[in-house]
């Protein structure tokens, strides 16, 4: 679960971390009631808001109102702006970057730090080398003083008692909320304390049952404040009741179960391609559901080949084949279609697909390889 900035900063404050005084605006007109100067920030769960023009320092009520009205309902990286966060500007001589995340390669929390924080942190660290430092935390030992001193050196600051208290509070928040990522950019030293001018947090939703009150509040807020822009395929899938997620590849996927779909998606990646989507029809699907799923997935012009992965348990494969054949008969100029089919009534289904000149296989690996080869034009 990715939090909005104001949600993350509230958790920061509860953990004893310093953040600028702020206020959530649920209407553009509320911008006229602020103290000035003020920083206004669009509340969308994505990074790069500054470069997108969604963060600005305003000096007067008319300027703040005009900025808020321009941003309201604007599309920022696929999300519509439904709220703004206002806070006092903080001046600092230097800006730092600090994040803490779970590194799956070593199964440990890892601090990532650089003394080149701010809006252009990506450009400042693009050269690699010593600009960015990675400091793991041995969970059997916990956060020790030598780790804190290493973090201070990586930022070119002194390991004072204040810095140590800040790092310990941040690490405690990371553990107690079962976060997978905390990112602060920029982190500054102002008014004799370390202050987080921005805050990003991602939580592991599998642990939600251990934090029911926290998740209830966060989800309730996001239900009204997070509005994602949907593609035509996503809108159609929603109306059809299909489980559809748009991804970044060119191989369209349809599966009759979530496990089958995830396995197929991983095998596509292992074969050197990327999935354009995840689409799962669910159990007890019929021919009409299959045709609707094909219409959703193939409405995405990025799909260059369609891979349908089916295991007949509760679902009858002859009905799935009928749905595929019916869709192909009604449409022309389609990308190649490859089907993996096995299980209940699979022999009948395979005969139907072969009559429709569809490549069909019982073995998933062969089907995946065939689909990727056709995407490559082989």
Confidence of residue 273 (pLDDT cuts 50, 70, 90): very high
Cα 165 from Cα 222, distance rounded (Å): 31
Kindly report the CATH number assigned to the domain that includes residue 124.
Answer: 3.30.470.20
Same domain for 245 and 360, yes or no, is yes
Taking only the tens place, the pLDDT of each residue in 207-231 is 999 999 999 999 999 999 998 888 8
Same domain for 117 and 216, yes or no, is yes
| Number of domains the chain is built from | 3
Same domain for 254 and 204, yes or no, is no
Confidence of residue 258 (pLDDT cuts 50, 70, 90): confident
Same domain for 137 and 261, yes or no, is no
In whole angstroms, what separates CA 370 from the centre of its chain? 30
Same domain for 254 and 366, yes or no, is yes
Cα–Cα nearest to 274, from 265, 283, 261: 265
Same domain for 211 and 236, yes or no, is no
Range of the domain at 74: 21-87
Question: How confident is the prediction for the chain on average, in pLDDT?
Answer: 92
pLDDT at position 192: 87
Judged against a pLDDT cut of 60, whether residue 96 lies above it is answered with yes
Taking only the tens place, the pLDDT of each residue in 2-23 is 999 999 999 999 999 999 999 9
Q: pTM of the prediction? A: 0.74
Q: What mean pLDDT do residues 314-326 have?
A: 93
Kindly report the CATH number assigned to the domain that includes residue 356.
Answer: 3.40.50.261
Same domain for 215 and 236, yes or no, is no
Judged against a pLDDT cut of 80, whether residue 378 lies above it is answered with no
């Amino acid at each position: 679960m990715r939090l909005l900035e104001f949600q993350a900063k509230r958790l920061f404050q509860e953990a004893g971390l310093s953040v600028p005084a702020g206020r959530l605006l649920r209407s553009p007109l509320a911008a006229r009631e602020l103290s000035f100067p003020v920083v206004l920030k669009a509340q969308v769960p994505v990074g790069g808001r500054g470069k997108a023009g969604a963060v600005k320092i305003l000096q007067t009520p008319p300027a703040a109102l005009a900025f808020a009205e321009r941003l309201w309902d604007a599309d920022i990286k696929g999300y519509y702006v439904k709220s703004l966060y206002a806070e006092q500007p903080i001046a600092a001589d230097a800006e730092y970057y600090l994040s803490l995340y779970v590194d799956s390669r070593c199964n440990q929390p890892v601090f990532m730090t650089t003394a080149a924080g701010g809006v252009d942190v990506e450009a400042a660290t693009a050269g690699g080398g010593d600009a960015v430092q990675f400091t793991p935390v041995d969970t059997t030992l916990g956060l020790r003083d030598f780790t804190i001193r290493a973090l201070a050196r990586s930022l070119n600051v002194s390991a004072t008692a204040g810095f140590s208290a800040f790092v310990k509070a941040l690490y405690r928040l990371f553990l107690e909320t079962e976060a997978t990522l905390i990112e602060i950019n920029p982190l500054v030293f102002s008014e004799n304390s370390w202050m987080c001018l921005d805050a990003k947090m991602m939580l592991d939703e599998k642990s939600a049952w251990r934090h029911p009150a926290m998740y209830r509040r966060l989800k309730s807020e996001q239900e009204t404040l997070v509005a994602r822009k949907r593609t035509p395929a996503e809108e159609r899938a929603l109306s059809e009741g299909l489980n559809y997620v748009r991804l970044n590849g060119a191989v369209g996927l349809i599966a009759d179960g979530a496990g089958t779909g995830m396995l197929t998606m991983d095998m596509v990646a292992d074969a050197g391609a990327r999935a354009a989507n995840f689409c799962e029809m669910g159990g007890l699907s019929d021919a009409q559901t299959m045709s609707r799923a094909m219409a959703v997935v193939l409405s995405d012009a990025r799909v260059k080949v369609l891979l349908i992965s089916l295991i007949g348990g509760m679902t009858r494969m002859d009905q799935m084949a009928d749905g595929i054949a019916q869709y192909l008969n009604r449409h022309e100029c389609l990308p190649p279609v490859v089907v993996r089919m096995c299980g209940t009534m699979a022999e009948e289904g395979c005969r139907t697909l072969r009559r429709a000149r569809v490549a069909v296989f019982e073995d998933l690996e062969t089907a995946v390889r065939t689909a990727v080869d056709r995407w490559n034009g082989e």
